[in-house]
Amino acid sequence: MSSKNTRDNDPPAFDAALSDLGAEHVHIGLFDADGVFRHKKVGVDKARKLAAKGYQFCDVLYNWDTAEEPYGGGAYIDRPASIDPSSVRPYPFADNEAVCLADFDEPYGERSARLQAKRQVEKAREMGFTVHSAFEFEFMLLNETPESLRAKDFHDIDHFAQGNRTYSLQSAALHDDLLAGLEETMAALDIELDAIHTELGPGTFEAPLSHAEGLKAPDDAALFKNFAKAYFLRQDLMAAFLSKMSPDLPGQSGHFHLSLRGIETGAPVFADAKAPDGLSPTARHFIGGLVTLMPEMLALCSHTVNAYKRMVPGAWAPTYASWGVQNRTAAARVINDTAEATRVEFRVPSADTNPHAAFAMCLGAGLWGIENAVEPPPATDADCYASEPADHARFPGTLGEAAARLAASEAARQIFGDVFIDTVATMRRHEEAAYRRHVSSWELGRYLEVV
């Protein structure tokens, strides 16, 4: 593998973008394995120098766990990275400041989910397609701060907007200024919200993002999550993108919508008005690849222990690989109200998903299906929660099982390479091991008196 970065450095374009913004400082960041934006604020002159000569960042980002406890060993050295000039955006919390994204150069950069997402976009283009997609996130607002949560050891959490209802006019009207501030923050980042509304659960909201082409969609999604948390902290609130906050509350989703268009025509390629289900062979093969590879690549879009507590019966989340037209109980839902808007909604990811990894998984599996002309199983219009799946379609029940399935997946290694798959599998096994060592209050209450 060449050590040359897959990204074309363009210092003049970077200079021009910063000049257009009147930037005096730049927040340069990389996304870690959990999708957390790790950044440094530098002066504009230094940022220009780093764009021209290269950027260095510590490789601990792929040698520590979710709690920032290193486990990989080694010297934790600085690795070469490159700034993506096309990613420059205004920084929303201060004037004359900018945000831009960077990634480790190859070969170390193969560990990056963002680089893998970029590769799949490039592969789609080689196959004659442009990629158009968008995430939508549910999140809960809490009347908490990091300090208050630690003071009570994360117990008795105080939820914002206790009387919240799904699609509630009253709740939205009551908190209009707060939500308008979120929209303004995202608009400053060049992230457009398609809508925002209340959802099921106390203090729960949903924000579907407007669709974007190529890598901008997962970039928007990852930045949305990071900057939404920052925005609400500035309001003395916390935005929780956890899959499952409580057994008594619904799960929180991070659904992902994707379609392909022809490069030469710009026309959508998933629709076929002559087909009984309105789907083209390209769409069927894309769905075939996604449904086939879902169970073995699940750890890419569901990378936390908590994510597997949402994928259980009754939690409004898929429990096995399935698909259907307009079927919200299926793992892959085809939306085909119009030919122009025909798309696949990947309903497996939860709100805590790493957007770049989920994007790469869905697109990579779908393109693999197109390449191999994979026919999907029959579509279902039944309630998937009440159906008994075939064994091969069942999802892994835990993060540890999902990591093992991913590590053993020949297709995943073919699509993403050994370095990325081994990195993800190792990190997820470590996360599962940390969970297994933990003794919960549920276990104490369940067993302390009786065993």
Of the candidates 133, 124, 117, 125, the one whose C-alpha atom is nearest the C-alpha of residue 84 is: 117
Is 451 within a domain? no
Q: How far apart are CA 70 and CA 387, in angstroms?
A: 43
Is 154 within a domain? yes
**Which pLDDT belongs to residue 71?**
85
Question: What angle separates helix 281-293 from helix 355-371, to the nearest 10 degrees?
Answer: 120
**Which pLDDT belongs to residue 212?**
97
**Which pLDDT belongs to residue 4?**
38
Same domain, 200 and 96: no
Are 396 and 364 contacting, i.e. CB atoms less than 8 angstroms apart? Answer: no
Are 414 and 378 contacting, i.e. CB atoms less than 8 angstroms apart? Answer: no
Residue pointed to by tokens 């914002």: 160
* pTM attached to this predicted model: 0.95
Of the candidates 425, 397, 431, the one whose C-alpha atom is nearest the C-alpha of residue 308 is: 397
Same domain, 217 and 348: yes
Is 3 within a domain? no
Parallel/antiparallel/unpaired status of strands 97-104 and 78-90 = antiparallel
pLDDT along the chain (451 residues), means of 10: 46 93 97 96 96 92 91 88 95 97 96 98 98 97 95 93 76 84 97 93 94 97 98 97 92 96 95 93 98 98 96 85 95 94 97 98 98 96 89 96 98 98 96 95 93 93
SS3 439: coil
Same domain, 274 and 412: yes
**Domain carrying residue 16:** 11-108
Same domain, 360 and 386: yes
Name the domain count of the chain.
2
Same domain, 197 and 82: no
> Which CATH number fits the domain that encloses residue 162?
3.30.590.10
Are 376 and 288 contacting, i.e. CB atoms less than 8 angstroms apart? Answer: yes
Last residue of a domain, one of 42, 76, 108: 108
Largest CA distance in the chain: 70
E runs forming strands in 244-381: 256-262, 323-325, 332-335, 343-346
Q: How far apart are CA 423 and CA 281, in angstroms?
A: 34
Are 243 and 145 contacting, i.e. CB atoms less than 8 angstroms apart? Answer: no
Is 118 within a domain? no
**Which pLDDT belongs to residue 269?**
97
Same domain, 258 and 384: yes
Are 131 and 258 contacting, i.e. CB atoms less than 8 angstroms apart? Answer: yes
Q: How far apart are CA 194 and CA 173, in angstroms?
A: 18
**Which pLDDT belongs to residue 343?**
97
**Which pLDDT belongs to residue 328?**
93
Within 10 angstroms of residue 415's Cβ, the number of other Cβ atoms is: 25
> Which CATH number fits the domain that encloses residue 21?
3.10.20.70
Q: What does each C-alpha distance from 207 to 245, 293, 336 come to in angstroms?
A: 18, 28, 21
Same domain, 104 and 127: no
Is 222 within a domain? yes
Are 121 and 363 contacting, i.e. CB atoms less than 8 angstroms apart? Answer: yes
Same domain, 50 and 99: yes
Q: How far apart are CA 160 and CA 52, in angstroms?
A: 46
Cα Rg, the chain, nearest whole Å = 22
**Which pLDDT belongs to residue 8?**
53
Which ranges of 98-203 would DSSP assign to H, the alpha helix?
Answer: 113-126, 146-151, 169-174, 176-188
Phi, psi for residue 213 in degrees, rounded to 5 = -95, 140
**Which pLDDT belongs to residue 164?**
74
Same domain, 72 and 157: no
**Which pLDDT belongs to residue 221?**
98
Of the candidates 409, 400, 394, 451, the one whose C-alpha atom is nearest the C-alpha of residue 427 is: 400
Phi, psi for residue 128 in degrees, rounded to 5 = 100, 15
